[in-house]
Chains A and B, each alone.
Chain A
Amino acid sequence: MNANASAVRTYILTEIALLGLLALTICVAYLNLGLLNPIIAGAISVTSATLIILNFMHVRHSKPLLWIFVAAGFFWLGIMFALALSDFLTRHWR
């Protein structure tokens, strides 16, 4: 029963953190921080997603093999972004 209570507590704490991050990202959006705005918004999104993956999707307690599968999708997305942007970001260089 103890393990049960601790699992439920983890879910509730995660939820509170996620809602707090949501409020934070909305508030920060109303401050003019220039280039930092999208960076902070992105960092908050990544943090929230990580919380969901580790706790709700219980990857934290999964075998190492599963971590590879979790990472693979994001890694390949990174390849797509990096190489496609190597075109779009350098197209006007001379």
Chain B
Amino acid sequence: MSSSPTTPILAHQFEDATQQRDAATIGMWLFIATEILFFGGMFLGYTVYRYTYPQAFAEGSQHTLIWFGGTNAAVLLISSTTMALAVHAASENRRALLVSLLLGTASLGALFLVIKGFEYAHEVKENLLPGSSFHIVAAEPLKAEMFFYIYWLMTGFHALHVAIGVVLILIFAARAFFTNAFVNHDTPVDLLGLYWHFVDIVWVFLFPLLYLVDRHS
């Protein structure tokens, strides 16, 4: 897998580039495992409450803006492809391509945040932000408030991860453009890609769980 026999940057604790690359990859996957369990706590809460209050979750879900969420799902999926292509470009030392693909990925991430922002603004206007001003017409308004609490919580943490990702991608793009940092040294880009794909996976689960509960009724 280590395609670059002449890696210029070898930290003093490592014997060779393969060892360094393996360590970094395992480390990143362990970090992703921690993220899985971090989000997992919220997914567990979602499961418990949806099981306990099925009707409130159905009613709450029908108040979400499915086309905003659906578009965002597509945006993130496409950004994952551009990121995968960027990692590929880095492994082939094609700097110009790498920079433009990273910028494309960052723009798609930013687009996701903009769409999400409009969605949030709409929900605040509709009094769907949990708290004293929360108001919803539903059979169990308090339980529906729990649905929206979970909605804001999970999309909020996810949006935070997207925002961090966008900033990181922009930093990487700048470094790829102005320096030789990733020439024959594509591991950092690869790890950035893993993070970005993970963020995408979270949305792959969040979208149906939050937007698609009993849409047919």
A–B direct touch in complex (beta carbons closer than 8 A) = yes
Q: Which residues of A contact B209 (CB under 8 A)?
A: 41
Q: Is the CB of B73 within 8 A of A22?
A: yes
- Is A93 on the interface with B (CB-CB < 8 A)? no
- Residue interface bits A61-77, CB-to-B below 8 A is 1, else 0: 11101100110111011
Known A26-B70, A56-B197, A57-B194: A77·B40 in contact at CB below 8 Å: yes
- B93 near A: Cβ within 8 Å? no
Q: Which residue of A lies closest to B77 (CB)?
A: A18
**Size of interface on B: residues with Cβ below 8 Å to A:** 50
Q: Which stretch, B28-36, B124-132, B146-154, B173-181, touches the partner chain A?
A: B28-36
For the complex, give the distance between the alpha carbons of A47 and B120 in Å: 29
Residues of A within 8 A of B41 (CB): 80
Contacts of A81 in B (CB 8 A): 40, 44, 47
| Bound-complex Cα distance A44 to B201 (A) | 12
Whether A80 contacts B36 by the Cβ 8 Å rule is no
Q: Which of chain B's residues have a CB closer than 8 A to the CB of A29?
A: 208, 212, 215-216
Contact B216–A31 (Cβ < 8 Å): yes
Asked whether A48 lies within 8 Å of B84 as measured between CB atoms, the reply is: no
- Could you tell me the distance between the alpha carbons of A25 and B84 in the complex, rounded to whole angstroms? 24
Smallest Cβ-Cβ distance to A18: which chain B residue: B77
Q: Please indicate the chain A residues that have their CB under 8 angstroms from the CB of B198 in the complex.
A: 57
Interface 1/0 per residue, A38-58 and B, CB below 8 Å: 100110110011001101110
Contacts A25-B208, A41-B212, A56-B197; A80 near B1 (Cβ below 8 A): no
Distance of A66 Cα from B214 Cα, bound (Å): 38
User: B30 → chain A, closest Cβ, in Å?
Assistant: 6
Which B183-217 residues have C-beta < 8 A from chain A? 193-194, 197-198, 200-201, 204-205, 207-209, 212-217
Contact of B77 among A15, A26, A44, A89 (CB under 8 A): A15
Q: List 27 A-B contacts (CB under 8 A).
A: A4-B92, A8-B85, A11-B81, A11-B85, A12-B81, A14-B84, A15-B80, A25-B207, A25-B212, A26-B70, A26-B212, A32-B217, A41-B209, A44-B208, A45-B205, A49-B204, A52-B197, A56-B81, A56-B193, A57-B194, A57-B198, A69-B26, A76-B36, A81-B44, A81-B47, A84-B48, A88-B52
